[in-house]
C-alpha cells in the first residue's frame, strides 16, 4: 500500500500506470448509468474516510461516487466534525482512523498536515488538496489532455495568472510526464522558485513570460484558475484582481495561441474574471471533460494506494 501525497513524490511509472487504469475503467463503464457499480468491485468491504477542512464540490462528489462505484463505503467528515489539530493531534487522529478505515483522503490547508497524517497512519493517505499542491487535479488534467491531443510528453503548458497550488503541481508534473511549462502572471504571484528551479534542472524548458500573448504563442494547453482563494479578505481580492486582470483567458488572448491549443480550468470558475464565457463554453474548452476525469483518475489513485 502507498500514500499519494504529491506528484513529485510518486514514481513516474506509477503515475503512468494510474492513468492507464483510469482510462480503462472509464472505457469499461461505457454509457451505463452513473449510479451503477463497476463490473470490478475492488473496494468491496472497504471504508474510505474523506476529510474536508476546506469546502469542496468536485473533490467530495468525485471521491464519494468513485468509492461507491468500486463497491466501497465512504465516511465524509468536515473540520467541524473532528478535533483535527485542535483538541487532538494530527498524529493521534491518524492512528485512530487507521483502526476504523482502509484509506484516508484529506483536503486541508498546510502540506505539513498531510505529511504528518501519512507518517502516523497505518493506512494509505491521499492528498485531496493543500495550499501548496493539488496532485489529484493534475492527474485528471493530464488524462484529459491525452484524450484530446495524444501524449503530453514534449508539449507545452502555459499557465495564466496566479502561481497557486495547481500551478505548482503542474510544475512537478512537467518533470514526471516530460512536458515544458510557461508561467505567465505578475511577479508577486510567481510559483515556488524551488519548483521552477527543479524543473529547469530536470532538463525541461521552464519559462516565465510576463506578456500573456507571448506566453500562449506556442502553447498546446492553456490553463488558468480562480484569482482568489477561499477565505481571502476583500482587500486581498481587489488587489489580486488588479494584478491579474491582464492575464484573463479570453478570445483575444487565445487568438495568439496555435489553432489546436486547448483550454483547462480546474473549477470553480469565476466567469468574466480569470476566464471569459466565450472561451469557457467554446470549442477549445475541455473543462467539463477535465471535471469528469477527476472521478476516473481518483478511482485509479485509490486502487494504486490500496494495491487492488
Helix (H) or strand (E) holding 159: strand 156-160
| Residue-level length of the chain | 308
Contact 24, 30 (CB under 8 A): no
| Neighbour count for residue 149 (Cβ, 10 Å) | 15
CB under 8 Å to 80, separation ≥6 — which residues? none
Residues 272-305 as b or e (16 or more Cβ within 10 Å = b): ebbbbeebbeeebbbbebbbebbbbbbbbbbbbb
Write phi, then psi, for 291 (nearest 5 degrees): -65, -45
| Active site residues per annotation | 107, 134, 137, 225, 266, 294
Amino acid at each position: 500500500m502507498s500514500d499519494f501525497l504529491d506528484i513529485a513524490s510518486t514514481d513516474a511509472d506509477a503515475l503512468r500506470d494510474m492513468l492507464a487504469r483510469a482510462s480503462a475503467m472509464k472505457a469499461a463503464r461505457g454509457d451505463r448509468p452513473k449510479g451503477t457499480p463497476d463490473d470490478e468491485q475492488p473496494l468491496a468491504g472497504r471504508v474510505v474516510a474523506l476529510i474536508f477542512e476546506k469546502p469542496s464540490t468536485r473533490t467530495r462528489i468525485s471521491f464519494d461516487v468513485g468509492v461507491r462505484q468500486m463497491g466501497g463505503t465512504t465516511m465524509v467528515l468536515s473540520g467541524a466534525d473532528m478535533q483535527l489539530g485542535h483538541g487532538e493531534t494530527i498524529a493521534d487522529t491518524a492512528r485512530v482512523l487507521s483502526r476504523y478505515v482502509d484509506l484516508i483522503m484529506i483536503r486541508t490547508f498546510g502540506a505539513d498536515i498531510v505529511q504528518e497524517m501519512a507518517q502516523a497512519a497505518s493506512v494509505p493517505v491521499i492528498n485531496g488538496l493543500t495550499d501548496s499542491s493539488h496532485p489529484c487535479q493534475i492527474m485528471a488534467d493530464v488524462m484529459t489532455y491525452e484524450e484530446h491531443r495524444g501524449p503530453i510528453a514534449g508539449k507545452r503548458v502555459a499557465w495564466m495568472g496566479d502561481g497557486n497550488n495547481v500551478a505548482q503541481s503542474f510544475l512537478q508534473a512537467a518533470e514526471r510526464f516530460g512536458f515544458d511549462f510557461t508561467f505567465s502572471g505578475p511577479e508577486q504571484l510567481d510559483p515556488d522558485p524551488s519548483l521552477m528551479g527543479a524543473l529547469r534542472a530536470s532538463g525541461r524548458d521552464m519559462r516565465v513570460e510576463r506578456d500573456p500573448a507571448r506566453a500562449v504563442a506556442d502553447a498546446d494547453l492553456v490553463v488558468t484558475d480562480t484569482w482568489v482563494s477561499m477565505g481571502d479578505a476583500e482587500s486581498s481580492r481587489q488587489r489580486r484582481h488588479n494584478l491579474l486582470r491582464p492575464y484573463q483567458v479570453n478570445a483575444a488572448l487565445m487568438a495568439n495561441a496555435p489553432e489546436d491549443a486547448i483550454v483547462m480550468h480546474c473549477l470553480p470558475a469565476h466567469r468574466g474574471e480569470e476566464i471569459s464565457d466565450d472561451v469557457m463554453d467554446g470549442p477549445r474548452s475541455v473543462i467539463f471533460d477535465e471535471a469528469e476525469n477527476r472521478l476516473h483518475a481518483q478511482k485509479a489513485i485509490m486502487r494504486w494506494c490500496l494495491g487492488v
